[in-house]
Amino acid sequence: MAQRQLTDLAVRAIRAKAEYFEVVDGTSGLRLAVFPSGAKSWIARYRRPDSGKTAKLTIGRYPTMPLSTARIRVAEARDAVNKGVDPGQDKQRKKFEDRQAETDRAADTVAKHAQAFLDWQAKRLRPAGWQQQHHVIRDFALPAWGSKSVHDIRKRDVIELVEGIAEDRPYMANRAFGVIRRFYRWLRERDVVTFSPADGVKKPSVERARDRALSPPEIKRLWHALDTVGGPACAAIKLLLLTGQRRGEVAAMTGSEVDGDTWLLPAARTKNGKPHAVPLSRQALAVIEQQPRIHGCDFVFTSGSKPVANFAGVKQEIDAIMKPEAAWRVHDLRRTCASGMQRLGTRSEVIERALNHRAGLYRSVAGIYQVDPLTQEVRDALAAWGREVERIVKGESGKVVKFR
């Protein structure tokens, strides 16, 4: 075993022999192990504090670890021995902890934490809000990131995901970005991650308030297209037009919510968390009564055991027959209903009550003190709108009756 004060040049010059040998670095306690293959490693030999037996500590490979760093490491090991700590066992413990940390990190998959996030949100959000979060995670986040660790998602990943959605669904991209940002904020609050990859990312699309409402000729063509295509989704769309309620509320309507000529929406099913009584016009009641009832299922618009949901596919069939004047969305029927009631002379506060819309007149102070439900006014307004839709669909002429 050779012994000398090593230098970087000397270490590079040492050549392998037929047998393994070690070169001692002066009095530092560091040794260079040279293998017949030519590989070199830094080691140290010491006596275990508990038994006094000689043990070998591998410090690192050369040239990955240079001489200067190896001397620092062997000095740290010598200090540990002097304090009664076995550096070999300490190294194994740290390696185990590192492996365990890596295992834990790998187990922190997006799929695992996304499910926990949705379970947590299910206790806090109304069904409509939870459904959107579930949709974003199931259809966008999990296919792209499901098996990845939440620690490995970077800002670039978020940008690529939401920009990909924005190519043909710009508003959906904004919703997806909001859910991802909330998901990572939740992870950070629970100390799962230390940073959010959504931080500093801008919303992918600029949203503008829509003002699309179907014209009377479009309403007529829409109704005839709905009759042609048929099915529970088309019936639900008719009720959307006649009542102005939200798609999710109409789609999940149950028979037990209908009490005579009134639809009683529970707070758990409304966007604003307020119970809502919707007067049903003669035309709306006719749509509901025409739906076949399925034994054991309380949903009004269904073809099985679940509420109707295939609006996108049905709308393509409807558009092919209807030939709209411009692109429209199912949600535009809510605005069409509101615009129609306004055209008939309905006061704004009555329209807002009819649509269960807590904005405009009923926002802030006005919403606190103006608590009159305007029940009869809402009933009259929706009844007049039902008659107007019927008149448009049948193509009847005549003066529109206005009321206040």
**What DSSP string describes 28-44?**
S-EEEEE-TTS-EEEEE
Q: How many CA atoms lie within 13 A of 76 on its CB side?
A: 13
Nearest to 400 by CA among 341, 357, 350, 356: 341
Residue 361 per-residue DSSP state: G
Residue 82 — pLDDT band, cuts 50, 70, 90? confident
- Asked if residue 324 has pLDDT above 50, the reply is yes
Nearest to 153 by CA among 167, 166, 142: 142
- Cα-flanking dihedrals φ and ψ of residue 149, to 5°? -75, 145
CA distance 126 to 132: 10
**For residue 83, what pLDDT is reported?**
86
* Amino acid code (one letter) for 208: R
Q: State what percent of residues in the chain have pLDDT above 70.
A: 88
**DSSP label of 275:** -
DSSP 329-388: -TTHHHHHHHHHHHHTT--HHHHHHHHT--SGGGSHHHHHH-----HHHHHHHHHHHHHH
In degrees, rounded to 5, the angle at the alpha carbon of residue 262 between the alpha carbons of residues 259 and 268 is 85
Task: Count other C-beta atoms under 10 Å from residue 68's C-beta.
Answer: 8
Q: At which residue do the structure tokens 């966008």 appear?
A: 140
Work out the number of other CB atoms within 10 angstroms of the CB of residue 251: 24
User: What distance in Å separates the CA atoms of residue 241 and residue 234, rounded to the nearest whole number?
Assistant: 11
Whole-number pLDDT of residue 223: 96
pLDDT in tens, 331-390: 899 999 999 999 999 999 999 999 998 655 444 434 444 556 789 999 999 999 999 999
Residue 110: φ, ψ to 5°: -60, -40
How crowded is residue 176: how many other Cβ atoms within 10 Å of its Cβ? 26
Distance of CA 370 to the CA centre of its chain: 36
Question: Can you list the positions of beta strands (E) in 63-146?
Answer: none
Amino acid 190 reads R
Q: How many helices (H) and strands (E) does the chain have?
A: 17, 8
The model carries a pTM of: 0.59
First to last CA, the chain: 107
Query: Residue 105: is its pLDDT beyond 70?
Result: no
Which has the higher per-residue pLDDT, 2 or 316? 316
pLDDT, residue 310, reads: 83
For residue range 199-227, list pLDDT tens digits in order.
999 988 877 777 889 999 999 999 999 99
Could you report the per-residue pLDDT of 8-49, keeping only the tens digit for each? Answer: 999 999 999 999 999 998 878 899 999 999 999 998 888 888
In the prediction, which pLDDT does 145 show?
94
In this predicted structure, what is the pLDDT of residue 221? 95
Q: Report which residue type is found at 102.
A: E
d(CA 277, CA 259): 10
Cα 81 to Cα 77: distance, rounded to the nearest angstrom: 6
CA distance linking residue 404 with residue 228, whole number of Å: 36
CA distance 267 to 248: 13
Tell me what the mean pLDDT of segment 248-276 comes to: 91
**What residue type is 129 in one-letter code?**
G
The pLDDT value given to residue 99: 61
